[in-house]
Amino acid sequence: MEKVILGDNQFFGVNHMSEEKARAQSIRFRDDRSIIQVLDAAYKLGIRVFMCTTHERVAAICQHVRENPERYAGFQFLPCMPYAHKYADAAAEHGLIGALKRALPADGAINALLKGGKSLATRDVEGVAQLLIDAEMKMFKGLSTPMIFLQNVVTDLLLGLGFHDAFRMFADHVIRRYGVEPGFITMNMPKLLDALEGVGISNPLICANINKIGFRMCGGVTLYEDTIATRTFRPVAMSVLASGAIPPREAIEYVCKQKKVCSIVFGASSESNLAETKRLIDEMSPCA
């Protein structure tokens, strides 16, 4: 993976520390052009990987990149799914079957629909899950998506329910259908690693909050440090600044001391913040 990865929270009004900042960001990025401007600034700085949810506005960003292949040569998307709010709203308005029908991929729609109906009727969880993954991936058609991540809302729900086989189902489908690596986002990295190893997923790709104050790190800083130092997996750090609670240099220096952490996901809304964060990661990262 690339060392420096741009995330999308800032584009969609997500800030875990301040609702006021979240509202301000939502207003600032209310049109797609404002998001594209930040992506262009990131690309100019050499940041070529965008980790994003499957928010409906991402579809327009994907289309823009598809229409300008030379301008975005080498640009990659790392989809994170499912976007829970989208499905909750659709299910509330159209019902579960209706929500699935509206999200079906264009290719093989009839077969997918039949499969979805049968799956729901027979409570075939794996079939439903595969259908949802394919629906979410529709917007990324024709683009480079070397990894697909299971979003933490679902990851941690499954973890709490003890339905660990679902992780295997997700991984198998992503590998078989798309030929790419599965990844998992979580707020409980140590427990998730236990679960993944328990269903035979070795050296998994896990994206989790990693910061020096333990912000949204279930189990605490010490357990995370021990897990990173002693166990076999590929950690990707997010929320390294703890939503602004830690100064950038201090935050990145701490994360880069965790020797296995070779990739950092961060959100930025200006070229100056992008440049400074990338410079600090390049300076301090133990990975080439």
pLDDT in tens, 50-86: 999 999 899 999 999 999 999 999 999 999 998 866 6
In order, the DSSP letters of 59-86 are: HHHHHHHHH-TTTTTT-EEEEEE--HHH
Classify residue 23: in a domain, yes or no: yes
Classify residue 110: in a domain, yes or no: no
Window from 71-80, 87-96, 142-151 with minimum mean pLDDT = 87-96
Classify residue 228: in a domain, yes or no: yes
Classify residue 175: in a domain, yes or no: yes
Classify residue 206: in a domain, yes or no: yes
Q: What does the pLDDT look like over 185-227, one tens digit per residue?
A: 999 999 999 999 999 999 999 999 999 999 999 999 999 999 9
Residue 224's CATH number: 3.20.20.100
**CA dist., res. 148 & res. 88, Å (int):** 21
pLDDT at residue 83 in the model: 80
Domain count across the chain: 1
Which residue range(s) make up the domain with 245?
4-83+137-284
Classify residue 124: in a domain, yes or no: no
- Helix, strand, coil percentages (3-state) for the chain, rounded to 5, are 55, 15, 35
pTM for the model stands at 0.87
pLDDT at 157 over 70: yes
- Determine the average pLDDT of the residues in 27-55: 93
Classify residue 109: in a domain, yes or no: no
Classify residue 125: in a domain, yes or no: no
pLDDT at residue 91 in the model: 59
